[in-house]
Structure 1
Amino acid sequence: MGDPFLRTRIALPARPATFLRRERLVTRLDRALRTPLTMVNGSAGAGKTLLVADWAAGLGRPVAWLSTESADQGPGVFWAYVLHAVRAGGADLPAEVGCPVDARRVDHTLLARLAAELNTAEQSVVLVLDQYDRVSAPEIADQLEFVLRHAGRGLRLVLVTRNEPLLPLHRYRADGEMTEIRDAELAFTPEEAALLLDLHGLSLPLDATRALVDRTHGWAAGLRLCALAAQESPDPETYLKEFEAGRSTVADYLLAEVLKQRTPQTQDLLLRVSVLQRFCPELANALTERDDAESILVELHRENAFVEDLGHAWYRLHPLFGEILRAHLRVRSPGLEQELHRRAAGWLRGSGHLQETLAHGAAAGDWEFTAGALVDDLAIGQLFTSLCSDDLAELFSRMAPEASGAATHLVRAARDLCRCDLDRGLVHLRHAEEALDSAGGTGGDATARLSWALLEAMVARLSGSPDRAKNAAEAAERLRYEVPAHLLDKHPELTALLLTHLGSTLLWAGRFDAASGALSTVVGGARGASTALARQESLGHLAMIDYLHGWLGRAERKAMAALAESERFGLPRPSGSGVERLVLAGVAVDRNELTRARALLDEAADPGPVLRDPVSVAGRALVTSRLLLARGDPRAALAAVAADLGTEVVSPWAESQSAMVAAAAHLAEGRPQSAAEVLRRVPDGQPACAVEAARAQLAAGNHEAAITLLDRLRTDGRAGPAVTVRGLLLRAQAADGAADGAAVHRLVGQALTDARRERLRRPFLESGPWIRGVLGTPALQKLAAGWLTPARPRRGGPAGAEPPPEPLVVEALSGRETDVLRRLAQMMSTEEIAADLHVSVNTVKTHLKSVYRKLAVNRRNDAVRRARELHLL
C-alpha cells in the first residue's frame, strides 16, 4: 500500500512509574511458554496491556509485539505486520518465507512456509497480539489458527483482547493447551490496591481500601483514576470514600470507552437497566419497550463491556459503571428514572421476585403498590423474622404519610408492633380493619385479612389477652382455605409466628396444656431460616413452662435448643423476647450458680428493639428477685417482684411466683406471719405455693399446719424436683424437730437422690443450719459429695501425711460445659470441639471460660486434671 511500518505498533508499551507488578499474574503468564495459546481477556481499563508488556519486558528473551488496528485493510496488511513484528522481535525468518503483496488477501503458501519455518526454529517465538478484539475478519482468525497449529512448539501466541476471538478455543481448553487470564483475575485485591495507592503517595486504612475495591470491583483503570484525582484533594481518604462517580474522570473514561462506542439502541438499554441491581432480557425489554435486549446483552457480555453474566440469563452492570450511567440518565432524561423503577416493579411482581419488587416500588414512590405487594404475597411476617426485618423496616420507614389503604395500614401496624409500640400499632391495625370492612368481603382480600390476624395475635400477646389471641387464631384458620396454598407453603413463618403468639398468650394466662400444644406445633413444624425465630421463641416458652413446674433439666435442654436454633441460622443476638436466657438464668439460681445467672440476665437485659411481652417481663422480674434472695438481699428482691403489667388478664403463675418471692423475703427477715399472709391470697392449686406456705408455717413453729399443707399437696406428676425436693426437705425438717432420725435420713436421702440429677442446690442452702449435720453423716455424705459438699479425699500417700484439701466446685458444670470438658480431655482443639458440637468457636470459648472459672484454673491441662480429681470425668 506504500505506507511505512509504524514502529509504535511493534514496540512494547511503556509502563508508568506508578505501575504495580503483580506476581500472581506474572506467574500465570509464565505458563504461556508451555502452552501454544494464551488469552488475556478483560474489559477496557482492566490492565491487560500493561500486565503483558511488563511480563514480556522481564522475560529475558525476545518477544514479538504487535498492536492491531481496526484500520488494517484486510489479511495482507495484518500478516505483513505480523512478519515485521516477528523479525523485529529477533526471529531469523529467511527471505524465502516471503511477504504479502496484496492488502486484501494473503497467499496460503506463505502461511505454510511461515508455519514450517517456526516449527523447525531452535527457540520458539513469543508473539503478543495486543487489542486483538479490533481484528474482526473471520478469515484472519482461520489463518492464525492454521499457523498456530502447524508451527507446533515454535510459536507461543498471546492474545490480549476485550472479547473471545474467533478461534476454536474449546479444543485448546479441552487439550489443556491454553492459558487464560480473565476479568476476575485481573481485578485488584485489597492488598494490591493498597500497594497501588501507596505508589501514588496515598496511605489509606485497610477498611477504606476494601471499600474502594468493592465499589470499583478492583478495576485497574478505576483505581488509578481515583488515585490520581485523590492526589489533588486535601483529604484523600474522604474523597475516595465519597467521590461522585458521575462527575469524575472515571465517568469520562467509561462514557468515552464504553458507552459512546455503542449504537443508540445499546446506549438506551444500558442507561435504562442502570436502575436495576440485576436484569434479564425480558426485564430489560420491559424497560426499553423493545424486544432486542437478548442479543444486545449477549454481545455486551462477550465484549467485556462491563456487563457481568450471573447465569440463567441474568446479568448485572459493573457497580461503578452502573453508578455513572444512572447519573448520566438523570441528565439525559430527567424524570425517567422513577418511571423505570415503576415498570421494573410491575414486571418483577408478576415474576415472583418480591424483594426486588419492594425495592423498585419504594424507589418509584408508589407505596400503595409496594405495601400491597408485601401483603398480597403473604410476606408481612418477614418484618418479624430477624433475617430481613431490618431491611424491610428501613424501606417502609420512607413511606409517605399520605399513603392510605388496608395494606399500608397493615405495614405501619407491623412496623410499630416490631418496636413493641402497642398503642400506635393498635391505631393502624384498627384503620386497616376499617379499610378491609369498607372494601367488602371479596375473596381478593384474604391475604390482607390473614396478615391482620397475625398482627392481632401479636397484639394479644403484648397485651396479655388470651381470648383475643384465640379469636385471631380461629379467624386465621378459617382464612387459610381462602388463601392460595402456594403462598402458605412459601411463607411458613406466618403460621409459625401466629401460633407462637397464641402459645405465649396462653402461657401467660396459665393455660399450660393449651400453650404447650400450640408451641409444640411450631417446634415440630416447618424448619428453615424463615421459621427459626418462631421455633426459638416456642422452645424458650416451652422451657419456661418446665421451669415453672420445677423440671430444671428439661427446661435447660429446651432453652439450650432455642439458643442453638438462633445460632444455627445466624439470628441477631439477642433476638425475640430472650425468654430462653431468662430460663437458663433461673435454672442457674436454683443450682446456686449465681455468677452464671447474673451473666445470663445481663445478656438478656434491655435487648432493644425486640419483643418484650408479659411472659418475658414477668420472667425477668422473677429470676432477678430470686437471684437477689440467693445473694442475701431480701429487700431488693421484694422491690424487684413484678408489679402490675397492665395486661387484660392477671397471670396466675406470675401472681403466685411473685407471692412466693415476697414470702421468701419476709422469711429471710424473720417475719413468718407476713410470709404466710402473702401466700393466703394466692389461689389454691399451686404446688410450689403450697410448699412455700408450709415453709412459712414451719418457720412460725406450726409443724402440724406445715405437714397438713404438704399432705394436701397433689402434683399429679406435674411438679418437678425444684418443687418436690423442697417439700421433702420441709418434711425432714419437721421430722428433725420431732427427733425422728430415721425419717430425717430417709427424706433427706430421697431429696439428695432427686436433686443430684438436676444439680439442685438452693433448697439445701435455704434449709438452715439443721441440715449440715445431717449431710455429714456417712450414709448421706456419699450422695452429697462432689456436687453439694466437697468430694471425699482419696486414700494413699505418705504415712502420716494429711491429704491435700480438694477444692469444692461451688458451681457445677452445665451439661454443655461438661460436653466441652470431655472433648478437652480428648485433646481436641477449640475448632474441633465446635465442629463436633455443631456450635460456633466463640460459643466454645465462652464455655471454656466458664469451666476454667468454676474449676479455679487458667489452662486446658489444669482443667482436665482438676476435673479428674473431682471425678467429673
Structure 2
Amino acid sequence: MAGTHDNVQGPTVPAVQCADPLGNPLLRTRFALPARPVTFLRRQRLLQHLDQALRTPLTLVNGAAGAGKTLLVADWAAGLRPPVAWLTVEVGDRRPGVFWAYVLQALRACGAPVSEAVGTPADAAGVDQKLLAALAAELNDRNRPVVLVLDEYDRVTAPEVAEQLEFVLHHAGGGLHLVLVTRTEPLLPLHRYRAAGELTEIRGAELAFTAEEAVALLELHGLRLPLHAAGALVDRLRGWAAGLRLSALAARESADPELYLKEFEADRSTVADFLLAEVLKGQPDETQDLLLRVSVLERFCPDLANALTLRADAEPILAGLHRDNAFVEHLGHTWYQLHPLFGEILRAHLRVRLPGVEPELHRRGARWLRRHGFLTETLAHGAAAGDWNFAAGALIDDLAIGQLFTGLRSDDLTQLFSFMGPEARSPATDLVRAAHDLSRRDLDRGLARLRRAEEHLADDPGSLAAARLSCALLEALAARFAGCPPQAEKAAAAADELLREVPGHLLDKHPELHALLLTHLGSVRLWAGRFDDARAALTVVAGTDDGACTVLPRKESMGHLALLDYLNGWLGRAERKALAAMSEAERIGLPQSSGSGIERLVLAAVAVERHELARAQALLDEVDLPSGARDPVLTGGQALVTARLLLVRGKVRAAVEAANPAVSTAVASPWAASHEVLVVSAAHLAEGRPDEASAVLEQVSGDQPACAVEAAGLQLAAGRCEAAVDLLDSIRSQGGTGPAVTVRAALVRAQAAEWAGDTATVRRLLAQALLDARRERLRRPFLDAGAWIRPLLATASLHELAVGWLTPGPAPARRGGRSGAESPSSPLVAAELSGRERDVLERLAGMMSTEEIAADLYVSVNTVKTHLKSVFRKLAVNRRGDAVRRARELRLL
C-alpha cells in the first residue's frame, strides 16, 4: 500500500447528510486532509518510515504542538492508494457515541462504505457493543485494508473510547491500519503492541528537523544558510518545526536574513519583535486588548474571552483572527488557543503594557471556569491569581479532595497547592493542607489541621455537605494510619449519612471518594483482625471499574485482599490477587511505585512459603516504606515477611528485631502480635531454650488459625506434644483456611501420631498434606517439620507424591513387590545456615571437638552446643558425621 507521495489529492468528501447522536450535523471539514502550504517541506525519511509502518496494525505519531505531525501524515496519506479515512478529532469526541458516529462517516467518506448492518450510534454517551463487533467483522472481511488516521487524538480522554478502539483494531485483523496523531500518550496498552511487534512509533526526536532539512526549509522561504549555521539554529530550537518556520518568516523581513538566522537567540526576542509588529500591532485596539488578555489562558471561547475583557465582541474577533491565520488556532465547538510561541510572547508583552493586571485576569478566568464546571483549569487560574481560598474552596465544593490521593492528577494537584502560603485561612484551605499532610503520612499535623477545619465547619450551619464529607474521608485515612477501628467506623457512618445530602452528579463525577473511604475502612478492619468485615469492604472497591480515578484504591484493595488470603493460608489466591493489583496500575500507565506496595509484600511472603528465598528478598527490596507515620497493615506485613525470611536463613536475633516494627497504634493487631510471638518462640527454640519457647506461645489462641497451627508445630518441637494437640483442637475456623494452614496442622498431628506409634494415621496425614501442598508448591512446612519426616518421605508411596516439587529424583526402588526404605536420590533442601552455624560446621568437618571449636571461636561450650543443635535440626540429622556428610551433599562445605 506504500504511496508514491506525489501531489495526489485526497478523496472527494461526499455531501454529509448524517447527524451525530446529539442531532448536530457531521462536519465535512473534519474528514478532509489538511492542505500543505507552498513552503511545506516533504521529508522523505519520515515518509519511508510511515510506509514501513503499514506492516503493523497501529502507528503512533507523537510530538509536541508545532512539531509538524499533522502536515507530515497528511502528506503521506495523500500519496496512498485509497481507501484512506481521515478524521480530525475534537473535544466533543470524548463521548463515545459522537466519536464513533464520526469514525463511521470518515470510513464512508473515503470510499470504504459501512453497511447498514453496522448501524449508527443512537446515544452520545455510549455505543452498543454489537455495533463495534459488526464494524470489526466488516473490516476483517475486506480484501484491501483501510488506513484510518485520527488526528489530534489527544483530545480523546475517555477510557471507554480507547477500549472500544482497541477492540475494533484487534478484531479487524488485517482489515484496518490505525494511525494516531497525538500530543500525549494515548490510553491504549502500548506495551502489548510493542511486545508483539505490532506498533510503529514516530516521536518528537524523529520529528525534529535535522540541519539538512532546516537548510531545505529555509530555501523554500527564499533564504540560504550554510549547513553549520543551520545546525546551530536547529540546536537552539531543538529542531522545532514551528520555530524554524517562524524564524524564517522573521528573517525574510530582516535586511540581512543570513545574519539574522545566525544570531537568532533562544529567547526568541527577534521573533517576538516581528510577531508584535506584524501580527499584534497591525490589529485594532480591541483585538490587541483581547489577545493580550486571553494570553493567560491555555484555551478560551468567546464567552470566556468576554469575561476577561469585560466586553461582548470576542466571537467575531476570534473568528476573524482564525480565518486570517493570525496564530489563533480553532479547537472546535467555538474553543480556540493561541499558538504556543505567540502566546508566550503576548504574556511577556502583557506584563509590560498592562502591569499588575495579570492576577486579576486569572481571577476572572477562574470564576468563569468554575461556573461552567472546568475544575482543573479553575484550580490552575485560582492558584495563578494567588486566590487560595477560592481555589481550595472550588476543590472541596466539587468533592474532588480524593484526587489528591488517587488518579493521574494527584502529583499535579499536590504541586499546585504546595505554593499556598500561610495567609490563606479558611476551612477549605485547612482541609487541603490536612490532606497534603496525611498524604505524606504526617499524622499529627494532618489531624491538627483537620480538627481546625471541623471546628470552623461546626460553627457554620450552612456549610456544604461536600466539605463535611471531605472531613469524613480524611478522618477515615487518619484512623487507618492510627490503627483505630472505632474512629474509622465513625467516619464511615458519618459519610453514609452525608452521601444522601450530596448532589448525585458530584458523586457520579468523583467515584474515587467512596472507593477511598471503603479502602481505609477495610484496611483498619484488617489490622484489627476482623477479616470478614475487612473483606466485605475491600471486595466492593476491588470490583469497581471507574477508570483512572479509582485505580489506586482498587490496587490497594486487591493488595489487602491478597494479604487476607495469605493470612488464611491460601497462597495461590493471594498470589493471583497480588499480581492483579500490580497489573491494575500498569493498565492505565501509572508507575508500579504508585500505592503502598502491599502486593509485593504478599508475593514475598508466598515466596518464603515456597522456599524461593532469593525471589522473596528481591520483592522485599522493592518495597519502600514511606517516612513519617506508617500504615500499620503495610508495616506489620513487612515485619512479618522480613522476620520469616530472616528466621529461615538462620538469622535469629535479626528476625526477632524485625518482627517488632514499633509502630504505634490505637489497638493491637492480633495477627501481627501472634506472628511476632511465633518468631520469638522460634528464636528461643533455635537457641536451645524450649521452656521459654513454649511459654511465650501461650499468647497465641485458636482465634488465629494460621498462627495457632504454627504455634502447635513449635510446641511439638519443644517436646510439648499434648500442648500442641490441645492448641490444634482449640482452633475456631469456619472452614475458610487454606493449604498453608491445613498442611501444617496435618504435619503436627502426623508427628504426634508418630510419637504414639500410629503408623497408619501418620501415612494418611502425610499423604493428604503432600497432595494439598503440591498444588500450592508449599515447601516450607515440610522443611520446618524436622528430621522425623525424612524416613517416611523415603517410602515409595509418599515419595511419589513429593518427587519433582519437594524432592527430586526417581521414586525408590521396589524390592520383592514392597516399598524400599532407601532415601531419595537427593533429600529435602535444608534451611539456610547462619554465618556462625557455618563457622561451627567447618570446624566440625575439621574433626575439632566441641571444646576446641569454642576456644577457636572465642565462645562458650554451651553456645557451640546450641549452634550444633540448630545445625542438626536444619540438616535433618542426629550425629556429627551425618551433619558433615549432609553438608557436603548440599555443597555447604
Range of TM-score over shorter length: 0.5 to 0.7
Matched, 1:462 2:504: no
Which of 777, 791, 810 is the equivalent residue of 1:773? 791
Matched, 1:201 2:218: no
Taking a change above 3 Å as real, the CA distance of residues 388 and 227 of structure 1, as seen in their structure-2 partners, is: farther
Which deviations, in whole Å up to 9, do the C-alpha atoms of 1:194-240 show, x marking residues without a partner? 5456824375899x77856288497563898999778559xxxxx64
Which of 694, 699, 704 is the equivalent residue of 1:676? 694
Provide the residue aligned with 2:304 in structure 1.
283
Which deviations, in whole Å up to 9, do the C-alpha atoms of 1:286-340 show, x marking residues without a partner? 1112222122222212222111111222111111100000011111111111111
How far apart are residue 673 of structure 1 and its match?
A: 1.7
Give runs of aligned pairs for residues 805-824 of structure 1, distance below 5 A: none
Give runs of aligned pairs for residues 435-514 of structure 1, distance below 5 A: 435-439=456-460, 441-442=461-462, 444-514=463-533
Provide the residue aligned with 1:191 in structure 2.
208
How far apart are residue 570 of structure 1 and its match?
A: 2.0
Provide the residue aligned with 1:385 in structure 2.
406
Which of 790, 798, 810 is the equivalent residue of 1:792? 810
How far apart are residue 794 of structure 1 and its match?
A: 14
The AA in structure 2 aligned to 1:298 is A
Q: Matched residue of 1:251: which SS?
A: helix
Preserved contact between residue 200 and residue 227 of structure 1 (Cα < 8 Å): no
How far apart are residue 612 of structure 1 and its match?
A: 4.1
Matched, 1:762 2:777: no
The AA in structure 1 aligned to 2:326 is A
Which of 550, 570, 573 is the equivalent residue of 2:592? 573
Taking a change above 3 Å as real, the CA distance of residues 34 and 375 of structure 1, as seen in their structure-2 partners, is: closer
Matched, 1:705 2:723: yes
Taking a change above 3 Å as real, the CA distance of residues 700 and 630 of structure 1, as seen in their structure-2 partners, is: closer
Distance of 1:416 and 1:34 partners within structure 2: 59
How far apart are residue 734 of structure 1 and its match?
A: 2.3
Distance of 2:682 and 2:322 partners within structure 1: 76
The AA in structure 2 aligned to 1:510 is G
Provide the residue aligned with 2:737 in structure 1.
719
How far apart are residue 769 of structure 1 and its match?
A: 2.1
Which deviations, in whole Å up to 9, do the C-alpha atoms of 1:458-485 show, x marking residues without a partner? 0000111100001111111111111111
Preserved contact between residue 193 and residue 213 of structure 1 (Cα < 8 Å): no
Provide the residue aligned with 2:334 in structure 1.
313
How far apart are residue 685 of structure 1 and its match?
A: 2.3
Distance of 1:385 and 1:621 partners within structure 2: 26
Provide the residue aligned with 1:355 in structure 2.
376
Taking a change above 3 Å as real, the CA distance of residues 480 and 215 of structure 1, as seen in their structure-2 partners, is: farther
Give runs of aligned pairs for residues 156-195 of structure 1, distance below 5 A: 190-195=207-212
Q: Matched residue of 1:550: which SS?
A: coil
Deviates more, 1:552-561 or 1:685-694: 685-694
Taking a change above 3 Å as real, the CA distance of residues 286 and 809 of structure 1, as seen in their structure-2 partners, is: farther
Distance of 1:312 and 1:319 partners within structure 2: 20
Taking a change above 3 Å as real, the CA distance of residues 53 and 779 of structure 1, as seen in their structure-2 partners, is: closer
Preserved contact between residue 642 and residue 658 of structure 2 (Cα < 8 Å): yes
Distance of 1:218 and 1:607 partners within structure 2: 49
Q: Matched residue of 2:317: which SS?
A: helix
The AA in structure 1 aligned to 2:526 is L
Q: Matched residue of 1:701: which SS?
A: coil
Taking a change above 3 Å as real, the CA distance of residues 307 and 792 of structure 1, as seen in their structure-2 partners, is: farther
Distance of 2:258 and 2:519 partners within structure 1: 55
Provide the residue aligned with 1:89 in structure 2.
none
Question: Can you give the 5+ residue segments of structure 2 that lack an aligned partner in the other structure?
Answer: 13-34, 45-108, 112-150, 153-180, 183-203, 216-226, 814-823, 831-893
Distance of 1:34 and 1:776 partners within structure 2: 79
Alignment RMSD: 3.7
How far apart are residue 256 of structure 1 and its match?
A: 2.0
Provide the residue aligned with 1:419 in structure 2.
440
Provide the residue aligned with 1:630 in structure 2.
648
How far apart are residue 733 of structure 1 and its match?
A: 1.9
Give the percent of matched residue pairs that are identical in Structure 1 and Structure 2: 60
Taking a change above 3 Å as real, the CA distance of residues 630 and 313 of structure 1, as seen in their structure-2 partners, is: same
Preserved contact between residue 799 and residue 811 of structure 2 (Cα < 8 Å): no
Q: Matched residue of 2:229: which SS?
A: coil
Preserved contact between residue 208 and residue 239 of structure 2 (Cα < 8 Å): no
Provide the residue aligned with 1:408 in structure 2.
429
Matched, 1:666 2:684: yes
Distance of 1:400 and 1:364 partners within structure 2: 13
Distance of 1:480 and 1:200 partners within structure 2: 66
Distance of 2:10 and 2:536 partners within structure 1: 72
How far apart are residue 715 of structure 1 and its match?
A: 2.4
Give runs of aligned pairs for residues 232-243 of structure 1, distance below 5 A: 232=263, 240=266, 243=267
Give runs of aligned pairs for residues 585-600 of structure 1, distance below 5 A: 585-600=604-619
Taking a change above 3 Å as real, the CA distance of residues 190 and 51 of structure 1, as seen in their structure-2 partners, is: closer
Preserved contact between residue 215 and residue 319 of structure 1 (Cα < 8 Å): no
Distance of 2:348 and 2:406 partners within structure 1: 36
The AA in structure 2 aligned to 1:337 is E
Q: Matched residue of 2:507: which SS?
A: helix
Distance of 1:228 and 1:551 partners within structure 2: 75
How far apart are residue 607 of structure 1 and its match?
A: 5.5
How far apart are residue 53 of structure 1 and its match?
A: 13
How far apart are residue 192 of structure 1 and its match?
A: 1.7
Preserved contact between residue 351 and residue 358 of structure 2 (Cα < 8 Å): yes
Distance of 2:698 and 2:10 partners within structure 1: 95
Matched, 1:398 2:401: no
Provide the residue aligned with 1:747 in structure 2.
765
Distance of 2:607 and 2:659 partners within structure 1: 18
Which of 565, 576, 579 is the equivalent residue of 1:557? 576
Distance of 1:783 and 1:743 partners within structure 2: 17
Which of 607, 620, 635 is the equivalent residue of 1:601? 620
Q: Matched residue of 2:785: which SS?
A: coil
The AA in structure 2 aligned to 1:644 is A
Which deviations, in whole Å up to 9, do the C-alpha atoms of 1:835-873 show, x marking residues without a partner? xxxxxxxxxxxxxxxxxxxxxxxxxxxxxxxxxxxxxxx
Distance of 1:591 and 1:695 partners within structure 2: 18
Distance of 1:410 and 1:34 partners within structure 2: 57
Q: Matched residue of 1:304: which SS?
A: coil
Taking a change above 3 Å as real, the CA distance of residues 740 and 271 of structure 1, as seen in their structure-2 partners, is: same
Which of 352, 361, 372 is the equivalent residue of 1:331? 352
Question: Can you give the 5+ residue segments of structure 1 that lack an aligned partner in the other structure?
Answer: 1-23, 36-45, 56-173, 177-181, 234-238, 796-804, 812-873
Which of 277, 299, 323 is the equivalent residue of 1:302? 323
Provide the residue aligned with 2:190 in structure 1.
none
Distance of 1:664 and 1:354 partners within structure 2: 57
Q: Matched residue of 1:310: which SS?
A: strand
Preserved contact between residue 694 and residue 718 of structure 2 (Cα < 8 Å): no
Distance of 1:467 and 1:351 partners within structure 2: 40
Q: TM-score, normalised by structure 1?
A: 0.67
Q: TM-score, normalised by structure 2?
A: 0.65
How far apart are residue 386 of structure 1 and its match?
A: 4.3
Taking a change above 3 Å as real, the CA distance of residues 193 and 325 of structure 1, as seen in their structure-2 partners, is: farther
The AA in structure 2 aligned to 1:641 is A
Which deviations, in whole Å up to 9, do the C-alpha atoms of 1:524-556 show, x marking residues without a partner? 235211011111111111111111111111111
The AA in structure 1 aligned to 2:785 is S
Which deviations, in whole Å up to 9, do the C-alpha atoms of 1:366-404 show, x marking residues without a partner? 111000000000000000004111100110011121110
How far apart are residue 189 of structure 1 and its match?
A: 6.5
The AA in structure 2 aligned to 1:470 is E
Q: Matched residue of 2:329: which SS?
A: strand
Deviates more, 1:623-632 or 1:599-608: 599-608
Taking a change above 3 Å as real, the CA distance of residues 576 and 732 of structure 1, as seen in their structure-2 partners, is: same
Preserved contact between residue 787 and residue 809 of structure 1 (Cα < 8 Å): no
Preserved contact between residue 690 and residue 709 of structure 1 (Cα < 8 Å): yes
Taking a change above 3 Å as real, the CA distance of residues 737 and 408 of structure 1, as seen in their structure-2 partners, is: same
Preserved contact between residue 582 and residue 592 of structure 2 (Cα < 8 Å): no
Q: Matched residue of 2:330: which SS?
A: strand
Preserved contact between residue 300 and residue 306 of structure 1 (Cα < 8 Å): yes
The AA in structure 1 aligned to 2:436 is R
Distance of 1:648 and 1:764 partners within structure 2: 37
